[in-house]
Chains A and B, each alone.
Chain A
Amino acid sequence: MAYAQAIFTNSAIYIIAAIGLAILTGYTGLFSLGHAAFMALGAYTAGILTYFYHWPFVPALLMGVIVSVLVSLVVGYPTLRAKLRSDYFAIATLGFGEALKVILENLDITQGARGLPGIQKLADPFNTAVFMVLTVWLCRNFLRSTYGRKIIAIGQDPVAAEMIGIRLLPNQMLSLAISAAFAGLAGGLLAHYITFIQPAIFSMDLSSLLTAGVVCGGMGSLTGPLVATALFVVVPELFRGLALWRLVLYGVLLVVIMNLRPKGLYGHEELSLGNLPKLFIIIGLTVGLTIGTSLYNGYLAEWGEMPAMLLAAGAAIVVAVAISYVGRGSAWLLRPVLPRISTTWNRGFTRIVHLFDGVLAPGERMAQATASIDSRRHANTAASDKPLLRIQGLSKHFGGVVAVDGVDLDVWAGQVVGLIGPNGSGKTTVFNLTSGVYPIDSGSVMFDGKELVGQSPTSIVLGGISRTFQNIRLFSNMTVLENVQTALHTASDYSLVAALVQWPWTVWATEKRLRDAATGLLRMVDLAEYADRVAGTLPYGLQRKLEIARALALEPKLLLLDEPAAGMNPQESLELVELIRRIHKRTKLTIILIEHHMDVVMNLCGHIAVLNFGRKIAEGTPDDIQSNPLVLEAYLGKRAEHAALG
Chain B
Amino acid sequence: MLLQTIVTGLSIGSIYALMAVGYSLVFSVLNFSNFAHGAIITLGAYVAWAIMVHFFRLPFIPALLLSVGGAGVLAFLNERIAYSTLRRRHAPSLYLMISAMGVAIALQNLLYATIGAKLYALPPVFAEDIVEVGEAAISKMDLFAFAFSFVAIALLHFVLTRTKVGTAIRAASYDMEMVAVLGVNLDVLVAVLFLIAGGLGGMAGVFMGIKYMVYPSMGWITNKAYIGAVIGGLGSLPGAIVGGILLGLLEALVSVTTIGSVHLSTYRDVFSFGILAILLIVRPTGLFGRMVEEKL
Asked if A31 and B102 sit within 8 Å, CB to CB, the answer is no
Is B51 engaged at the interface, CB distance under 8 Å to the other chain? Answer: no
Is B17 engaged at the interface, CB distance under 8 Å to the other chain? Answer: no
Is A366 engaged at the interface, CB distance under 8 Å to the other chain? Answer: no
- A33 (CB) vs chain B CBs: closest residue: B101
Asked if A437 and B223 sit within 8 Å, CB to CB, the answer is no
- B224 (CB) vs chain A CBs: closest residue: A95
Contacts of A84 in B (CB 8 A): 292, 294
Beyond A81-B281, A99-B273, A103-B270, is A255–B296 a contact (Cβ under 8 Å)? Answer: no
Asked if B98 and A469 sit within 8 Å, CB to CB, the answer is no
Contacts of A344 in B (CB 8 A): none
- A101 (CB) vs chain B CBs: closest residue: B269
A616 to B269: give the CA distance in the assembly, Å: 57
Asked if A81 and B284 sit within 8 Å, CB to CB, the answer is yes
Is B112 engaged at the interface, CB distance under 8 Å to the other chain? Answer: yes
Is B246 engaged at the interface, CB distance under 8 Å to the other chain? Answer: no
Beyond A87-B33, A215-B98, is A437–B296 a contact (Cβ under 8 Å)? Answer: yes
Picked from A25, A96, A438, the residue with its CB within 8 Å of the CB of B293 is A438
Contacts of A25 in B (CB 8 A): 94
Is B148 engaged at the interface, CB distance under 8 Å to the other chain? Answer: no
Asked if A258 and B86 sit within 8 Å, CB to CB, the answer is yes
Beyond A81-B284, A254-B99, is A94–B110 a contact (Cβ under 8 Å)? Answer: no
Stretch from A242-250, A379-387, A617-625 forming part of the interface with B = A242-250
Picked from A77, A254, A471, the residue with its CB within 8 Å of the CB of B296 is A471
Picked from B102, B112, B223, B277, the residue with its CB within 8 Å of the CB of A254 is B102
Asked if B101 and A86 sit within 8 Å, CB to CB, the answer is no
B-contact 0/1 string along A492-515, CB 8 Å cutoff: 000000000000000000000000
Is B104 engaged at the interface, CB distance under 8 Å to the other chain? Answer: yes
Asked if A106 and B99 sit within 8 Å, CB to CB, the answer is no
A341 CB to nearest chain B CB (Å): 36
Asked if A244 and B230 sit within 8 Å, CB to CB, the answer is no
A102 to B234: give the CA distance in the assembly, Å: 26
A505 to B85: give the CA distance in the assembly, Å: 49
Residues of chain A from 49 to 97 with CB closer than 8 A to chain B in the complex: 75, 77-79, 81-82, 84-88, 90-92, 94-96
A86 to B86: give the CA distance in the assembly, Å: 18
Range class of the B interface residue count: 35 or more
Beyond A254-B105, A258-B98, A259-B86, is A244–B112 a contact (Cβ under 8 Å)? Answer: yes
Is A276 engaged at the interface, CB distance under 8 Å to the other chain? Answer: no
Contacts of A87 in B (CB 8 A): 27, 32-33, 93, 97, 230, 234
Is B227 engaged at the interface, CB distance under 8 Å to the other chain? Answer: yes
A470 to B295: give the CA distance in the assembly, Å: 10
Contacts of B93 in A (CB 8 A): 86-87
A22 CB to nearest chain B CB (Å): 13
Asked if B280 and A81 sit within 8 Å, CB to CB, the answer is yes
Residues of chain B from 260 to 289 with CB closer than 8 A to chain A in the complex: 266-270, 272-274, 276-278, 280-281, 284-285
Is A590 engaged at the interface, CB distance under 8 Å to the other chain? Answer: no
Asked if A248 and B97 sit within 8 Å, CB to CB, the answer is no
- B272 (CB) vs chain A CBs: closest residue: A95
Is A640 engaged at the interface, CB distance under 8 Å to the other chain? Answer: no
A378 to B162: give the CA distance in the assembly, Å: 63
Beyond A248-B113, A259-B82, is A102–B266 a contact (Cβ under 8 Å)? Answer: yes
- A251 (CB) vs chain B CBs: closest residue: B106
Contacts of B108 in A (CB 8 A): 247, 251
Residues of chain B from 96 to 129 with CB closer than 8 A to chain A in the complex: 96-99, 101-110, 112-113
Asked if A255 and B106 sit within 8 Å, CB to CB, the answer is yes
- A242 (CB) vs chain B CBs: closest residue: B113
- A91 (CB) vs chain B CBs: closest residue: B226
Is B91 engaged at the interface, CB distance under 8 Å to the other chain? Answer: yes
Is B212 engaged at the interface, CB distance under 8 Å to the other chain? Answer: no
Contacts of B35 in A (CB 8 A): 33, 90
Is B220 engaged at the interface, CB distance under 8 Å to the other chain? Answer: yes
Is B130 engaged at the interface, CB distance under 8 Å to the other chain? Answer: no
Contacts of B91 in A (CB 8 A): 258, 262
Picked from A95, A98, A244, A432, the residue with its CB within 8 Å of the CB of B109 is A244
A106 to B280: give the CA distance in the assembly, Å: 26
Picked from B81, B270, B273, the residue with its CB within 8 Å of the CB of A255 is B81
A215 to B93: give the CA distance in the assembly, Å: 14
Asked if A31 and B94 sit within 8 Å, CB to CB, the answer is yes
Asked if A91 and B113 sit within 8 Å, CB to CB, the answer is no
Asked if B97 and A78 sit within 8 Å, CB to CB, the answer is no
Asked if A159 and B102 sit within 8 Å, CB to CB, the answer is no
Asked if B105 and A251 sit within 8 Å, CB to CB, the answer is yes
Contacts of B294 in A (CB 8 A): 84, 159
Contacts of B278 in A (CB 8 A): 78
B-contact 0/1 string along A245-269, CB 8 Å cutoff: 1011011111100110010000000
Is A179 engaged at the interface, CB distance under 8 Å to the other chain? Answer: no
B214 CB to nearest chain A CB (Å): 19
- B279 (CB) vs chain A CBs: closest residue: A78
- A249 (CB) vs chain B CBs: closest residue: B106
Asked if A86 and B103 sit within 8 Å, CB to CB, the answer is no
Is A543 engaged at the interface, CB distance under 8 Å to the other chain? Answer: no
Is A45 engaged at the interface, CB distance under 8 Å to the other chain? Answer: no
A378 to B230: give the CA distance in the assembly, Å: 49
Picked from A33, A79, A102, the residue with its CB within 8 Å of the CB of B269 is A102
Residue of A86, A92, A251 contacting most chain B CB atoms (<10 Å)? A251
Residue of B86, B96, B98, B281 contacting most chain A CB atoms (<10 Å)? B98
A253 CB to nearest chain B CB (Å): 7
Contacts of B92 in A (CB 8 A): 29
Contacts of A438 in B (CB 8 A): 293
Asked if B227 and A255 sit within 8 Å, CB to CB, the answer is no
Contacts of A79 in B (CB 8 A): 277, 280
B-contact 0/1 string along A113-127, CB 8 Å cutoff: 000000000000000
Contacts of B273 in A (CB 8 A): 92, 95-96, 98-99
Beyond A91-B227, A251-B104, A428-B296, is A258–B99 a contact (Cβ under 8 Å)? Answer: yes
A96 to B294: give the CA distance in the assembly, Å: 29
Asked if B113 and A29 sit within 8 Å, CB to CB, the answer is no
Beyond A91-B230, A92-B277, A98-B223, is A106–B86 a contact (Cβ under 8 Å)? Answer: no
Residues of chain B from 163 to 197 with CB closer than 8 A to chain A in the complex: none
Residues of chain A from 188 to 215 with CB closer than 8 A to chain B in the complex: 204, 208, 211, 215
Contacts of B86 in A (CB 8 A): 258-259
A61 to B46: give the CA distance in the assembly, Å: 44
Contacts of B281 in A (CB 8 A): 77-78, 81
Asked if B113 and A251 sit within 8 Å, CB to CB, the answer is no
- A30 (CB) vs chain B CBs: closest residue: B94
Asked if B267 and A102 sit within 8 Å, CB to CB, the answer is yes
- A467 (CB) vs chain B CBs: closest residue: B296
Beyond A208-B105, A244-B109, is A29–B94 a contact (Cβ under 8 Å)? Answer: yes
Asked if B269 and A251 sit within 8 Å, CB to CB, the answer is no
A270 CB to nearest chain B CB (Å): 21
Picked from A78, A255, A262, the residue with its CB within 8 Å of the CB of B82 is A255
- B27 (CB) vs chain A CBs: closest residue: A87
Contacts of B107 in A (CB 8 A): 251
Contacts of B220 in A (CB 8 A): 98, 204
6 A-B pairs with C-beta separation under 8 A: A31-B101, A91-B33, A95-B226, A99-B269, A254-B106, A258-B95
Apart from A88-B280, A90-B97, A248-B113, what 11 extra A-B contacts exist at CB < 8 Å? A78-B276, A79-B277, A102-B267, A103-B270, A211-B101, A245-B113, A254-B101, A254-B106, A438-B293, A470-B296, A562-B296
Chain A positions within 8 Å of B, measured between CB atoms, are 25, 29, 31, 33, 75, 77-79, 81-82, 84-88, 90-92, 94-96, 98-99, 102-103, 106, 159, 204, 208, 211, 215, 244-245, 247-248, 250-255, 258-259, 262, 428, 432, 437-438, 469-471, 473, 562
Chain B positions within 8 Å of A, measured between CB atoms, are 27, 32-33, 35, 81-82, 85-86, 91-99, 101-110, 112-113, 220, 223, 226-227, 230, 234, 266-270, 272-274, 276-278, 280-281, 284-285, 292-294, 296
The 10 closest A-B pairs by CB, nearest first: A251-B106, A254-B102, A251-B105, A82-B284, A247-B109, A78-B280, A255-B102, A244-B113, A95-B273, A99-B273
